[in-house]
Structure 1
Amino acid sequence: MTRIDLTRRQAIAGAVAASVLASTGAGAAEGEPKTLTRRRLRVGMSGFPRSFDPVIATDTAIRRIIPQLFDTLITFDHAHDMGLRPSLAERWERINAQSLRLFLRKGVAFHDGTPLTAEDVAFSLGPDHLLGPGRSGMSEALQSLDRLEKVEIVDPYTVIVHAKGADALLEQRLAAWGSEIVSQRAFVAAGSWERWTTAPVGSGPYKLVDHKLDIRVSLTAHDAYWGGRPPFDGIEYRIIPELSARVNGLLASELDIATDIPPDQFAGIQKRADLEVVGGAVQNIRSLVFDQTDSLLKDARVRRAMSLALDRKLIVRSLWEDRLPIPNGYQLPSYGEGYIHEFPSLAYDPGKAKELLAEAGYKGEQITYRLLNNYYPNQVSGAQTMIEMWRAVGLNVKLQMMENFAQIQRQPVRAIFDTSNTALFLDHLGHPWREYGPSGTLPKSIGIWRNEEYFALGAKLQDTVQGEQRRPIIRRMLEIINEIDPPCVILHVSGQFYGKRRDVSWLPGLTLDLNLGPFNRALIRT
């Protein structure tokens, strides 16, 4: 595929997506009767968000709420295999391999009633916002948006987004987490990042009313929403860390939706005629992170042995009822052209694990596993299962219980710990690279893994447009993080399951986001 082929294909895709939305999206939602009585939705989730601004972080708790408050220019369509569709930009077109012209939707109102213009887009994707407080660069949005060079304002409703070089993924970046558009006027009026992040102003289907640390977050409907009347009068997120308390809240009709339900709770929910379990695999991979600076874990043979000792099929069968796939390397089939179909599957080979440990001179020294109490579903039972598998090959792994991620990542780490990673966009650069690239969580935020070859290959991949040239680069990057110098043990694709009332018209999407607005696929389907 030549560079001009890419430009034409993406321009056509933008035009087609715009016509589809015009016929099935906002217009249909706006036609709903305004007098329809709406419920106030009650959602039980496990954690409180540490910020309400989209660029700061991408924790699960944050992503449960951000889609209600903000919109992106382009969005992934969870109802149609994560294809791209218009959002705040009603259409777009490629100018060249590094520039994209976007035509903004007119009549979009922020929560404070002010109109969306090109100035808000330029500000949201510009350094004063994108780089975080004081332009410090402490912004997880840079994991996907670091390639943006500038936003050029053509007129109040037209912008051109320029990348730093040829970028085959520019459209996807503008649909990724962290690319949400905020109100420049409200940001300036807030006077500081601290005040802004507690009461931000976006254009999403709901607006923030109040919040109380570790107790609740309350939203109310933004009835001037450009996409149509929100389906709920408001949303109350109740912070309920204990799984049993969330399940009991659902069973007692105190909650409409309960998040993070593991399979061993399905039967108790499904036996109730008024309740159901929904969800499945999402665009996320669960893994265990290594501290490469540790005296034991710096040896790649020890890290490889820890991976080879795990029977992932047994883990998925016993803990997840065989509902989750095991990826072949750190990748997902949804990557399309960037997916390496023939890449080897993750091996289970206890004999080889023992050989590697012997070669490394490992003699039973303790490896610490820092663990949270079921922040992820089945986290503790999964850890206990893996410890037995490691013990079978001679690995001495001990649990150290922690209360939060601040404790998990406290320096020096000298341990392994759980994490999950969502594909911000559907490519190696939008998934493992955002964790393990030079601006990623492990190298930059925590400082426990570096690989210069991987960094150099990623930099080359960012400037490579043609698919046949990208694939060998991606394959080598997969070899590094899977075999040569693994930063983690890949476990399985993550699953997100929810208990809910049957009379609530809502279906989960393919990421950790909760989409509770009028474009939820349950509403589109009906």
Structure 2
Amino acid sequence: MLTALCTKGVIIRATQLFFLSILRCLQVVACCLLSVISCVEAQTPTNVLIVGQIAEPKSMDPHAATALNDFRILMNIYDGLVRYKPGTLDIEPALAKAWTISEDGTHYSFILRQGIKFHDGTEFTANAIKFNFERMLDKSHPYHKTGPFPLAFFFSAVEKVIVKSRYSVEFVLKEPFAPFLSNLAYPTGLIVSPAAVKKYGKAFGRHPAGTGAFKFAEWQSHRKVVVTRNDDYWDGLAALDAVIFRPITDANTRVAEMLSGGIDLMVEVPPDNLAMFKKAKDLTVYEQTGPHVWFLILNMMHGPFADKRMRQAVNYAINKQALVNSVLQGTAVIAAGPTPPVFTWAYNKTLQPYPYDPGKARKLIKAAGYKGEKLTFYVTEGGSGMLEPIAMGTAIQADLAKVGLKVTIESYEWNTFLGKVNPGLGEQADMAEMAWMINDPDTLPYLALRTAAWPEKGGFNSGYYSNPEVDALLKEARKTTDQEQRGQLYRKMQAIVHEDAPWAFIAHWQQNAVAHHTIKDFQLQPSFFLLLKDVQKLP
């Protein structure tokens, strides 16, 4: 009996070893296949630029998109009536070759270029302009429900769009609106094909058609967006055959792909890796200051931050210099308010950032009657201009703990994060990270600090800040065409917002990118967009 059991045991053991060896062989084959796939992906095609992006895009519809991550793709598929002159935030002609403005600043007349076609073969005319803006602004428009269009705020001053002829169009404004041309150059002002919108409806964001230097080819979710050269482009052909935008949300993976040759160009380089990339002989690092603000939204609708003393306490409690020096490795400067200093004519130089003062923070917290309530802090895993969001969020949590605030972090993927923050923090969270890249001093405060910009009213004031004086200043600044007068109004607004502290003002970022040495004629833009038409990829 014992012999039989031993024999049976030997057979069983032999069988186990046989199947184990088969399993190991399969594992080896799988590893080999993965290695082959990795090698194939690492070998970037000739004259095809591979761009490593920080997140999966949400939509290829410029009227629906809100994130810089998406804008960097869209600016290469579409054109607007006007555009930013390369290297500046100055306006130059694009689909419109000329324009005039009435003396009272309420009529903008554009003469359009002729002979331009959308990527779907339909002609670009004044009727397309009318369709685009009425789609965004007119709730009764048959294709308005293909939205939502959260940045239609940019054109809220438009009363009507009049087609004067096949190639001329006039915008009639309700009142003078100083940022109008600048907003037309922003991605929300990009012109889409009416025929494509009619064909795809709500799915247009997955089937984009513009007039840009590159045409949409495919979108494999969480893998890549591919655009190919538009051989009929009105403003000269792109040097590249195609561009592939790869969403690589993990910063370490993005760095590894850059070093291995899996991507040619990487945006938003983690600060810890900048020095290494600068030393690499086959890589070029690009850096430029731009109109960026990184801040924490504080919930004034519910919870402890309805009290101004608590909001000011957060600003005193955060060691912003340590964040800039340690986490961001000197790639940013401390923020004093909602307006970036790059707008020299509108920036309030008299404002000083809240100093790091834990003692003062504790006194304010005690005076506000905080009783140890749990504070929920929304943090993103990565997104447009978010500057090491996990590391920053963790460091901020630690600073707030030192002054007695009990903060719990909830982290989310970028698009999920936006889906939680943009509708308003409500009763769900007390604070959230946020970053904006803006084209005018009007943009961020108008969309995120006015009472009329509360989420349920269509804006991005997710913390429910409200100050009638700020509302009045922003309204007046929009109507003022004299830049010096506008600047004075914005400076007053900044002083009030600094005192009210609806946000914790953290930093202004110096944007960066790194490219392989074979990439030529690339430059960073003050707008933070990627303009790739003239970029070359040498053999």
TM-score (norm 2): 0.82
Q: Distance in 2 between matches of 1:119 and 1:164?
A: 21
Q: CA deviation at 1:192?
A: 1.6
Mapping 1:134-153, distance limit 5 Å? 135=144, 138-153=148-163
Out of 202, 211, 235, the position equivalent to 1:193 is: 202
- Residue deviations 1:136-187 (CA, integer Å, cap 9, x gap): 5731222311111222222222222221102222222221230111222332
Partners of 2:454 and 2:190 in 1: CA distance: 21
Alignment partner of 1:92 out of 92, 99, 105: 99
**In structure 2, distance between residues paired with 1:252 and 1:439:** 49
Counterpart residue number, 2:211: 203
* SS of residue paired to 1:141: helix
Matches within 5 A, 1:497-516: 497-505=512-520, 506-516=522-532
- Whether the 8 Å CA contact 1:435–1:442 is kept in 2: the answer is no
Structure 2 unaligned runs (5+)?
Answer: 1-44
- 1:83 correspondence with 2:97: no
Retained in 1: the 8 A contact 2:136–2:149? no
Q: Distance in 2 between matches of 1:471 and 1:499?
A: 35
Contact 1:281 1:323 (C-alpha < 8 Å) held by counterparts: no
Question: How many pairs were matched up?
Answer: 479
- Write the distance in 2 (CA, Å) between the matches of 1:470 and 1:407: 33
1:443 Cα deviation after fit: 6.1
2:420 pairs with 1:405: no
In structure 2, the residue matched to 1:18 is none
* AA partner of residue 507 (structure 1): Q
Aligned counterparts, 1:287-298, within 5 A = 287-298=295-306
Task: Report deviation, 1:203.
Answer: 0.6
Shift of 1:133: 8.3
CA contact (8 A) 1:38 1:231 kept: no
* 1-structure distance, mates of 2:220, 2:445: 34
SS of 1:48's equivalent?
A: coil
The equivalences for 1:33-52 within 5 A come to 39-52=47-60
SS, match of residue 90 in structure 1: strand
Percent identity, please.
24
Structure number with bigger Rg? 2
Offset of residue 38 of structure 1: 6.8
Question: 1:517 aligned to 2:533?
Answer: yes
2-structure distance, mates of 1:273, 1:249: 16
Do structure 1's residue 414 and structure 2's residue 414 form an aligned pair?
no
**Distance across 2 between alignment mates of 1:218 and 1:323:** 31
Assess, with a 3 A threshold, how the Cα gap between structure 1 residues 197 and 284 changes in structure 2: closer, same or farther. same
Aligned match for 2:280, one of 268, 272, 289: 272
Structure 1 gap ranges (5+): 1-36
Q: Relative to structure 1, is the Cα distance of residues 322 and 349 closer, same or farther in structure 2, using a 3 angstrom cutoff?
A: same
From 42, 66, 73, the equivalent of 1:65 is 73
CA distance in 2, matches of 1:394, 1:191: 53
1:426 aligns with 2:437: no
Matching residue within 258, 271, 286 for 2:266: 258
How far apart in 1 are the matches of 2:478 and 2:181? 14
Q: Given that residues 420 and 494 in structure 1 are in contact (C-alpha distance below 8 angstroms), is that contact kept between their aligned partners in structure 2?
A: no
Query: Structure 2: how far apart are the matches of 1:129 and 1:378?
Result: 36
49-58 or 404-413, larger mean C-alpha shift:
404-413
**Which residue is 1:171 aligned to?**
181
Superposition RMSD on alpha carbons, in Å?
2.6
Q: TM-score, normalised by structure 1?
A: 0.84
Q: Structure 1 residues 97-106 or 267-276, which shifts more?
A: 267-276
Paired residues of 1:142 and 1:439 also in contact (CA < 8 A): no
Does 2:448 align with 1:458? no
- Partners in 2 of 1:292 and 1:235 — Cα distance? 43
Paired with 2:428 and 2:234, the residues of 1 have a C-alpha distance of: 47
- Match in the other structure for 1:31: none
**Residues 1:437 and 2:450 aligned together:** yes
Q: For residue 166 of structure 1, what is the amino acid of its counterpart? A: P
Q: Is the alpha carbon distance of 1:508 and 1:452 closer, same or farther for their aligned partners in structure 2, counting shifts above 3 Å? A: same
Q: Which residue of 1 aligns with 2:495?
A: 479
Match of 1:488 among 496, 503, 512: 503
